[in-house]
Amino acid sequence: MSTYNFSAGPAVMPASVIAQIQAELPSMQGSGMSIMEISHRSALFDQIINNAEQDLRDLMAIPDNYRVLFFQGGGTLQFTAAPLNLATKHHNIGLLDSGHWASRAAEEARRVDTQVDILASAAATHFTTLPTLTTPVDQTLDYVHLTTNNTIEGTMYTKLPQTGTVPLVADMSSNFLGQTYDVSDFGMIFAGAQKNLGPAGLTIVIVRDDLIGHAQQLPSMLDYQLFADKRSMFNTPPVFAIYAAGLVLKWLKQQGGLTAIQAQNEQKAALLYDFLDQSTLFTNQVKPADRSTMNVPFVTGNPTLDAQVIAGATEQGLLNLKGHRLVGGMRASLYNAMPIAGVQALVDYLATFEKAHT
Ligand code: PMP
């Protein structure tokens, strides 16, 4: 039986990458040492991290005045690091309240004495829509925080809000490399690797170089300027995770890059949304224009039935469909490495379930 993993993260990785990791694990490039055993100061690792950065730059067309940093600490650490590094003038940021992860970002920013102004909120629609700006942004804000894809609520920005000269800081954790954006529209982008890029333990930060180096006395491990100066090797970086991410970036290039992968993602998502929209049992509540191509939450409206859907799916090898505990129901995450055959198998299963229960 083939299995398909719909987990929101850590999430499915390309099968060919897993196979390559398996083949290379005992001896990296004939060195007699595993990737997990080599020094981060070795020529071998130097090549791995440099290639990973270059491939990321190529795929996202990252301009030269942006630095690429390899962090640990997940997306969550960046909720702290971003205000500490970038909110240095006014200690005041704006935020678009698009759901759980945006709220978490606000909470962490406030913990480091940053004032957070909620510029717009989607709370009134229970986050089934995206918040949109209706008035011009106060130009004295240090930046505006935006979650490009809301992993739990299943909403995604395809058009960005206009913030004038105030930089946009994007938490791109759950649609990084799955949706194309123009990097120059952002002051900073960050993303945990464990959804579209590779194993957990690595977080990518892409930041415009004029925005960093203005903070005084930061803890070293939170200092973007220090990480930029030390090429992300101030201390031991997550060697294995960077290696695995590097393989995924090569795989993405083989798929034809981000435009091609985005087209595939749109096709996969449409397959599932089209089914849900005609279903008399299942519904996705999100306003169509605001729907995510990456995370698709849906419900029957009956928690007992939802549990049956999930249990039956698991028996068929359709794994990790349980919705986030905050919203319940089901959630299918359709990241880059989810093949369309997996989405088709899910739709077929849901259609069969619907016939048996209506
Ligand atoms: N932001 C978003 C949009 C997320 O989906 C997540 C994790 N699901 C996080 C931040 C937190 O990431 P981490 O667990 O890597 O700290």
CATH of the domain at 103: 3.40.640.10
350 burial type by CB count under 10 A (0-12 exposed, 13-18 middle, 19+ buried)? buried
Same structural domain, 229 and 305: no
* Cα gap 223→219, rounded to integer Å: 6
Residue from 55, 97, 142, 195 carrying the catalytic annotation: 195
Same structural domain, 237 and 302: no
Residue that finishes a domain, picked among 197, 227, 254: 254
Same structural domain, 226 and 338: no
Ligand 1 atom having least distance to the Cα of 147 = 3
**What range does the domain containing 157 cover?**
15-254
Same structural domain, 222 and 232: yes
pLDDT above 70 coverage of the chain, percent: 100
99 lines ligand 1 (CB under 6 A): no
Instruction: Based on the residue annotation, tell me whether 195 is a catalytic residue of this protein.
Output: yes
Same structural domain, 247 and 270: no
> What's the number of domains the chain is made of?
2
Distance (angstroms) between ligand 1 centre and the Cα of 170 equals: 12
- Residue of the nearest CA to atom 3 in ligand 1? 173
**Tens digit of each residue's pLDDT (9 = 90 or more) over 290-329:** 999 999 999 999 999 999 999 999 999 999 999 999 889 9
CB 151 within 8 A of CB 334: no
325 or 347, higher pLDDT: 347
Residue that finishes a domain, picked among 229, 254, 279: 254
Residue type, 181: Y
Please report the DSSP string for 211-246 in residue order. Answer: GSS--SS--GGG-HHHHHHTTT-SS---HHHHHHHH
Same structural domain, 46 and 158: yes
128 lines ligand 1 (CB under 6 A): no
Distance (angstroms) between ligand 1 centre and the Cα of 78 equals: 10
**Tens digit of each residue's pLDDT (9 = 90 or more) over 215-252:** 989 999 999 999 999 999 999 999 999 999 999 999 99
Distance (angstroms) between ligand 1 centre and the Cα of 43 equals: 32
Query: Would you state the pLDDT for residue 284?
Result: 98
pLDDT above 90 coverage of the chain, percent: 98
Ligand 1 atom having least distance to the Cα of 149 = 3
Split at pLDDT 50, 70, 90, the class of 1 is confident
Same structural domain, 134 and 94: yes
151 lines ligand 1 (CB under 6 A): yes
CATH number of 328's domain: 3.90.1150.10
Strand, coil or helix: what is 103? helix
- For ligand 1, pick from 7, 72, 76, 95 the residue to mutate: most ligand atoms within 8 Å of CB: 76
* Cα gap 108→203, rounded to integer Å: 17
